[in-house]
Structure 1
Amino acid sequence: MILMTSLTKKIALLGIITAANVVIARTFLIPIPFTHGNINLCDAGIVLAALLFGSRAGGVVGALSGLLLDLISGYPQYMFFSLLAHGTEGYIIGQLGQKRQWLGPLAGTLVMVTVYFGADSFLYTVPTGLVGIPLNLLQGVIGVTVGYLLVVGLNKRLAF
């Protein structure tokens, strides 16, 4: 019989959150014209993992979700930018969001938007990067809102 430690349970749960996050984000994917990017719900799962389990969990779920989502969605040119954008976003949300739940998601979203501006500007043009800013902000706000509502709902039902 294998004894399942709390670390094993946490890793398994984060794997499930990552997989669910990728499936949900892929299901509700809206392409953004002129930017080669998309709006999705990837940020919701990142907020969930970061606020419930902390910065490392948020970073891991963010990095893996971003990379895998781009890989299976036909945006391989963004894979490593998404790993950086969403991994850093998750880490920052977990780091700052533990004490001030509004500050972490705000800072994390701004970092995500900044990384994607850089990615779009590098891969295409600076005007393409500029077009993506409001749309990436919209994605961040929607994802943070959905993620925060999930955190509130789960905190009421589960004892973490």
Structure 2
Amino acid sequence: MNDSFMSHQKLRRLTLTMMLVAVTVVISRIFLIPIPLTRGNINLCDAGIFLTALSLGPREGAAVGALTGFILDLLSGYAQYMFFSLAIHGIEGLVVGLLAAKFLGKAGQVLVLCIGTLVMVSGYFGSDSLLYGISMGLIGIPANLIQGMVGAIVAFFLNDKIGGLLRR
């Protein structure tokens, strides 16, 4: 293949990845459930991260995760979480993308999405505990689990419909 074709493919992939960041930020801001106890919220961020990682792989999953997490915290006024979210959601997308290539089929997808959810939940347990103490870390676990599970369910069902379009 010539260099021009490869450059075009890389540019196309980068553009698609950045569009997925934008779409994930928008759906995460539209579908927002405030959690008064933790002063945080449940959103669909993980759905976009999971869908990207399942469809495009670990690099794109990590990019969408990291950038989306960072941008959402910036827009939501949670500056203290921006860099934590960049790392947590970036690792989440990376792990799901890497494991999705190894665990194929519907059962494999379910396993991979559960692992991705646990990565996110454990990451926020750590960051909440570091920022506010272990009790706040523990209090945040149920809301983070719900967010991760909702994201996993949405991504699981959308992957059949949208995943094929993204892989083209």
TM-score when normalising by structure 2: 0.88
> Cα RMSD over matched residues?
1.7
Name the residue aligned to 1:113. 121
1 CA distance for matches of 2:33 and 2:83? 20
Name the residue aligned to 1:144. 152
Give the secondary structure class of the aligned counterpart of 2:41: strand
2 CA distance for matches of 1:68 and 1:156? 27
Contact map agreement 2:129 2:137 (CA 8 A) in 1: yes
Q: 1:124 to 1:153 in 2, by over 3 A?
A: same
- Note if 1:20 corresponds to 2:23: yes
Name the residue aligned to 2:106. none
Contact map agreement 2:55 2:167 (CA 8 A) in 1: no
Point out where structure 2 has 5 or more consecutive residues left out of the alignment: 104-108
Q: 1:155 to 1:126 in 2, by over 3 A?
A: closer
Moved >6 Å (runs of 4+): none
Q: Quick one: which amino acid aligns to residue 38 of structure 1?
A: N
1 CA distance for matches of 2:159 and 2:102? 15
Point out where structure 1 has 5 or more consecutive residues left out of the alignment: none
2 CA distance for matches of 1:93 and 1:109? 9
Pick from 52, 57, 68 the counterpart of residue 55 of structure 2. Answer: 52
2 CA distance for matches of 1:36 and 1:158? 35
| Worse-matched range after superposition: 136-145 or 122-131 | 122-131
TM-score when normalising by structure 1: 0.92
2 CA distance for matches of 1:159 and 1:108? 21
Q: What whole-Å deviation, never above 9, does each CA across 1:86-140 have from its counterpart, x for those lacking one?
A: 1000000000012322232111110110110111111112111111111101100
Aligned length: 159
Pick from 72, 96, 99 the counterpart of residue 102 of structure 2. Answer: 99
Q: What whole-Å deviation, never above 9, does each CA across 1:124-158 have from its counterpart, x for those lacking one?
A: 12111111111101100000111121111124667
Contact map agreement 1:89 1:112 (CA 8 A) in 2: yes
